[in-house]
Amino acid sequence: MTEELGVLIVDDDFRVAALHSTIVDAVRGFSVRARVGSVAEARRAFVDHPDIDLALLDVYLPDGSGIDLVAELDCDCFIVGAETDAAAVRTAMRAGALAYLIKPFDDADLARRLAGYAQYRRVLSGENVDQHAVDAALSALRFGTRAAERSESGSPTEQRILDLFVDAATALFADDVSREVGIAAPTARRHLANLVAAGRLRMSLQYGTTGRPRQEYRLPKS
């Protein structure tokens, strides 16, 4: 799998949708195709963007439930909502949702699940699979890609980035990492996304008075 996976974000809270969009775009191999706030808009977006691979669906939407969209949309789906009713979870999974994330959750949780989904797609990209491949693919979906699946030190560049975070109080933006390590900002963002997906850093958004929110990185909470 070499092409980017297209993602549809469905959430009527524009700030939450923007947050999820930022996380998706920060994870290597993913790109947001559309961001909408209703069931009707989700249906139109899917027609307008036939290259959507994954939909992130809120449960409560102005004109219906995101859970109802799971069986309708011809793509993989994650439920990403605040509904905690056990019956809703069972309904979503029975309809075919690959994951159910309850808000609020740490940004890194979604990043790990996306990385796990990418692994799921890679493992199941061939024509035939054995039981080991099926188990590996489903495990990736459930737990996401974690640091244990990578080498202990990671790439030399990523280790240099990690060395910048001296303690839990250290908070850096991608531009800070770019300047300190001496790499281009897009390269820094790619390495930071890898470290977030692996669980070695966590990312949060810092909102200013104007412009897009900035991604801030810290060590994981102990």
pLDDT recorded at residue 147:
39
**Which strands make up the sheet holding 52-57, listed edge to edge?**
30-36, 5-10, 52-57, 76-81, 99-102
pLDDT recorded at residue 150:
43
Please check whether residue 57 is in contact with residue 80, taking contact to mean a CB–CB distance below 8 angstroms.
yes
pLDDT tens digit string along 14-51? 889 988 998 888 787 899 999 999 999 999 999 999 99
pLDDT recorded at residue 145:
55
**Residue 81 — φ and ψ, nearest 5°?**
-150, 180
pLDDT recorded at residue 28:
78
Q: pLDDT higher for 63 or 133?
A: 63
What CATH homologous superfamily does 5-118 map to?
Response regulator (3.40.50.2300)
pLDDT recorded at residue 210:
61
pLDDT recorded at residue 35:
96
pLDDT recorded at residue 45:
96
Distance (Å, whole) CA 26 – CA 28: 6
Average pLDDT, the chain: 86
Of 3.40.630.30, 1.10.10.60, 1.20.1440.130, 1.10.10.10, the CATH number of 148-218 is 1.10.10.10
pLDDT tens digit string along 41-100? 999 999 999 999 999 999 999 999 999 999 999 999 999 999 999 999 999 999 999 999
Domain boundaries, the chain: 5-118, 148-218
Distances from the Cα of 101 to the Cα of 171, 178, 213, 219, angstroms: 26, 32, 22, 22
Please check whether residue 220 is in contact with residue 146, taking contact to mean a CB–CB distance below 8 angstroms.
no
Q: pLDDT higher for 203 or 170?
A: 170
Distance (Å, whole) CA 130 – CA 135: 9
- pTM flag (> 0.75): no
pLDDT recorded at residue 144:
67
pLDDT recorded at residue 151:
43
